[in-house]
Amino acid sequence: MTQTPRPFLHFVKPEIDEETIQGVVEVFRSGWITTGPQNQQFEAELSAYVGGRPVRAFNSGTCTMEIGLRIASVGPGDEVITTPMTWVSTANVILEVGVTPVFVDIDPLTRNMDLNLLERAITPRTKAIMPVYLAGLPVDMDRLYEIARAHGLRVIEDAAQAFGSTWKGKRIGAIGDIVSFSFHANKNVTSIEGGALVMNNEDEAELARKYRLQGITRTGFDRMDCDVLGGKYNLTDVAARVGLGQLRQIERFTAKRRELARAYFDAFEGGAAVKLGIGLPPRNFTDSNWHMFQIALPLEKLGLTRAEFMAQMKERGIGTGVHYPALHLFTLYRARGFREGMFPHAERYGASTVTLPLFTLMSTDDVARVVGSIDEICEQFANHGKHSG
């Protein structure tokens, strides 16, 4: 008897409930679809979520980092320290404000910036640190800010993947300096496209508001002025309404992701993949929001390239992703003098990492299917399959 093929399992899929969909319909009917009352409500609820700190919403989690740098008065002649293991936007915004990016290799266990290497990267030109919380796992926040204070540095946290994460019981965004979140479609909370910037005071929030829309300040019915060079970064009310619906479910979303992450560890236990030496992420069910579940392939033993492994998963109806190649090896950064061998841990991980499906609409049976497929591939190709050069 022929079995019905199982549906393709994407590596990410947002969960948008009916109440949110109907809320978006109401926004369309209201006639106010660009920045307006939904944005104001979204910002108010985001602020409440991070303990009352001022928050401004934007149309991406990329412009939030750039504006965070500008608010911190980072500019030409300065250096900003970050990690090469991140989406390239983290470093691109540093270049965008005319600043030199300085990379610090990753800790091979946490896959985040190695804080043991941070201080030796600081120079008289260093103005800020931009840590990245890969897959939602924060760095050691106590140590990070101890180093920043000791050297008089600003911190612009690339917390794009860490909405819903915590540090010692405190929400990311509720503590720290300037914090940037992303609400892209693949994030734990989405506004389709969008982001938010958490700041220290109302002066910074007012400056962010200016940067968001051409530097304009309006007073009365007809007066306006422009005193800073801003851009066009405002979030639509349609997007803000999606974000509101998502934000109100963040605790459930995080709990479900942690449940699925636990199921992954249980499913991998004792299987062919683990025996072959596949690298699993750090087990952290306290601080991480489990934005992603990433494995590191033992390519020297697997007998497949990463692309071939991903193709094998696709043949089995399972989507995967790569987050991320080591960004200093992109052409843009090679042209600035970066090369192989400079950050070996990031390069090794960047060449072998694969992101597995993890989203709230999944079940633990889906997790078992993913891991079963990986074990099957490992058994089929390890040692006796085609070996990559």
If phi > 0 it is left, if psi is from -120 to 50 it is alpha, else beta; for residue 27 that is alpha
Give the per-residue SS3 of 68-111: HHHHCCCCCCCEEEECCCCCCHHHHHHHHCCCEEEECCECCCCC
- Of 295, 260, 289, 263, the C-alpha closest to 276 is 295
Would you state the structure tokens that stand for residue 202, as one six-digit string? 């109302």
Q: Active-site residue among 187, 232, 256, 301? A: 187
3-state class percentages of the chain: helix first, strand second, coil last, to nearest 5: 40, 15, 45
Task: Give how far Cα 115 sits from Cα of 146, 208, 224, 253, 379, Å.
Answer: 11, 29, 46, 30, 38
Rounded to 5 degrees, φ, ψ at 348 are -65, -45
Look-up of token digits 């990245």? 132
Distance of CA 273 to the CA centre of its chain: 26
* Residue 351: Cβ within 10 Å count: 16
DSSP code per residue over 303-364: SS-HHHHHHHHHHTTB--B-----GGGSHHHHTTT--TTSSHHHHHHHHHEEEEP--TT--H
What's the CA angle centered on 207, arms 202 and 208, to 5 degrees? Answer: 95
Would you state the structure tokens that stand for residue 31, as one six-digit string?
């006639």
Residue of 35, 97, 106 lying closest to 65 (CA atoms): 97
Helix axes 306-315, 364-381, angle to 10 degrees: 130
| SS3 at position 168 | coil
Identify whether 275 is a catalytic site residue: no
Residue 289 structure tokens:
């929001």
Asked if residues 325 and 343 have their Cβ atoms less than 8 Å apart, the reply is no
Contact 183, 195 (CB under 8 A): yes
Residues identified as active-site: 187
